[in-house]
Structure 1
Amino acid sequence: MQDIVFVVYPGFELLDLAGPTSVFNGANRALSLRSQPPFYKILVVSAAGGPVTSSSGIVLETAAIATLSTKHPATILVVGAEREPLLAAVSDAALREAVPSLAASATRLGSVCTGGFVLASLGLLDGHAVATHWDSSEPLTRTFPQVKVNPDALYVVDGRIWTSAGVTTGIDMALAMVAQDLDATVASEVAKRLVLYARRPGYQSQFSPLLQAQVKGDSPFGELIGWIQSNLDQPLEVPLLAARVGMTERTFHRKFAAATGETPARFVEIARLDAARMLLSRGLSLKSVAAQVGLFPPARLAEAFERRFGIAPRLFRDMHAQL
């Protein structure tokens, strides 16, 4: 079995722990359905051990990090928190003494969300590319200039260093670990069990155009944007979209652009190309992807994809397909 050690401390973000542990436990469940033994053993440790209260008030029982029985943990992940509990963790003498020695023997070392601050404070991320929550990218860069922060990625893998952005992206990173340790089929089974919309690759932006538009758009456009995302294979011309929200074409075009920061046509193209990137990362053919995202024939997809991402879709698929 592979040991997965999570390091927590008072005030930690519960989802940073619960999301990834659900993935690893889900992988064990998927294996059991195949009559195979579990692969992961999940351990949760803290500086002193005993009950540790999360930021949401839920209390978790932990083992003391100094008494960790495993000598060669496969993976160590430090979870994140808001500023005050994080600063306390960075200054905790027990963590500062124990984490480096554990890290030295670990196959994988990483963090979820702002947990990277703990590792960076110990010099364990020096020279490495990392991800963190978008709101913490600038402080991490400023405080630890020797760390190469990618402010956009969902998660970053740099050798044995695995770091993820905010909260739910810990799930994406854990799924990538499962795919590496076992196979992509098991990872996909876990994602399906967790009712995830998709397995998101690390290079995908933290700043989803869909989410940003929903945040900025007023209520009629919030519903419309969800409908657009579910109907990318259909003609999505302005007359149709305007009719769905009961506006004239001219009024719709003006209000949509003001609310979302994009013209309707531009927004639809961005949504289609982001969906195409996701589908290509699964190894689908250009013909299939072009049909699913409404950019048919494939030549139309190729032209738009290369214009937006600077790489041909076929080459992108070959580089990133989750085989």
Structure 2
Amino acid sequence: MHPLRQIALIAFDGVQALDVTGPASVFSAANEAAGHPSYQIHILSPCGGAVTSGSGVRLLTEAIGELDPGSFDTVLIAGGNKAGLSSLARDAGFADWMARACARSRRYGSVCTGAFALAHLGLVTRQRVATHWEGTELLARAYPALTVDPDALYVEDGKVWTSAGITTGIDMCMALVARDLGEAVANSVARMLVVYARRPGYQSQFSPVLGAQSKASHGFAALLDWIGEHLDQPLEVSLLADRASMSARSFHRKFTDATGQTPARFIETMRLDRARALLPSVASLKEIAARCGYATAGQMSKAFVRRYGVSPALFREMHGRD
């Protein structure tokens, strides 16, 4: 007899519809892929009935009061607009139900900006968490004891799972399925949902260029593109400063202010991101190192381990080769 895991997806007026329907689709597809019922999905709200998402799509929900908070294996709060999340977090009955449900569940968490509700309710205090890229700085300021990861697609910290923006809830829930039912079932779910690839949690919400461009002033946009096209070449600050028509000292300060990273840190991030993308290919480590601007494979490996905690060789083994 296979266990039937009860899944609670929390919705509210103003919810992001895909934060609910994406995870629901993953767990539903897992039932089909596994060949037997593995999950029972409940879309819940404080009062039950229809809730209207931010896009106008209405979702039919069950009332939390009708269900035992101790019966759920997994509880996830969806993201949504500020007014909806604030109203949800201020609901005393919901707060009590969530405290009991999360205490007794095997795991709980959030999709996208649902992390704000978790934090407000005290359900995350000192954990490492993810949220939508637009809210990472705000969440970190509002709850300084949290470690807000601005890059990860999703984060697992103990029994708490949190994901970044919207579609990353699908990535996180496929990881939950893989944990429960195995990689083969999760891969089958990805094929059913026509997901291009199962993205690991450490993968950035954006490429380093897009992430920097979301912060950088227009004056650096062209330079960021140029750096991405010349990673195999020496990229000294003096060269970049010349391209930006600035002194090296002024460039270093303005670039750091604009992108949130020093030039050296940004270039290393770009190179390691490129290496990570190339490692599943058949290219040798020496060739990948050269294409990413490292003098030797050993130099690249040292930087890769420092940043990601695994060697390039182990990363390649984990993620396969084409």
Deviations 1:91-129 (A, max 9, x none): 122311211111111000100111111111121101211
**Total equivalences in the alignment:** 294
Deviations 1:211-230 (A, max 9, x none): 458989x9xx9xxx9xx99x
Q: How far off is 1:202 after superposition?
A: 1.3
Q: TM-score, normalised by structure 2?
A: 0.73
Q: Using the aligned pairs only, state the percent identity.
A: 43
Equivalent of residue 5 in structure 1, options 3, 8, 11: 8
Q: TM-score, normalised by structure 1?
A: 0.73
The one-letter code matched in structure 1 to 2:28 is N
Q: How far off is 1:300 after superposition?
A: 5.1
SS of 2:71 mapped into structure 1: coil
Q: Tell me the equivalent position of 1:206.
A: 205
Q: Does residue 27 of structure 2 align to residue 24 of structure 1?
A: yes
Q: Tell me the equivalent position of 1:314.
A: 311
Q: Is the 8 A contact 1:178 1:187 kept in 2?
A: yes
Residues 287, 195 of structure 1: alpha-carbon distance in 2 compared, 3 angstrom cutoff = same
Q: Tell me the equivalent position of 1:304.
A: 300
Q: How far off is 1:72 after superposition?
A: 2.6
Q: Is the 8 A contact 1:295 1:301 kept in 2?
A: no
Q: Does residue 98 of structure 2 align to residue 95 of structure 1?
A: no
Q: How far off is 1:50 after superposition?
A: 0.5
Q: Tell me the equivalent position of 1:244.
A: none
SS of 2:179 mapped into structure 1: helix
Q: Does residue 53 of structure 2 align to residue 15 of structure 1?
A: no
Segments of 5+ residues of structure 2 without an aligned counterpart are 234-242, 245-258, 260-265
Q: Tell me the equivalent position of 1:248.
A: none
SS of 2:311 mapped into structure 1: helix
Residues 237, 101 of structure 1: alpha-carbon distance in 2 compared, 3 angstrom cutoff = closer
SS of 2:36 mapped into structure 1: coil
SS of 1:146 mapped into structure 2: coil
Q: How far off is 1:70 after superposition?
A: 6.4
Q: Tell me the equivalent position of 1:251.
A: none
Q: Tell me the equivalent position of 2:72.
A: 73
Q: How far off is 1:6 after superposition?
A: 0.4
Segments of 5+ residues of structure 1 without an aligned counterpart are 230-235, 239-253, 256-260, 262-266
Q: Tell me the equivalent position of 2:184.
A: 185
Q: Is the 8 A contact 1:125 1:147 kept in 2?
A: yes
The one-letter code matched in structure 1 to 2:311 is R
Q: In 1, distance between residues paired with 2:232 and 2:118?
A: 49
Q: How far off is 1:90 after superposition?
A: 1.3
Q: In 2, distance between residues paired with 1:289 and 1:164?
A: 32
Q: In 1, distance between residues paired with 2:317 and 2:44?
A: 34
Q: In 1, distance between residues paired with 2:159 and 2:170?
A: 18
Q: How far off is 1:157 after superposition?
A: 0.4
CA RMSD of aligned residues (A): 4.3
Q: In 2, distance between residues paired with 1:47 and 1:205?
A: 33
Question: 5 Å matches for 1:42-53?
Answer: 42-53=41-52
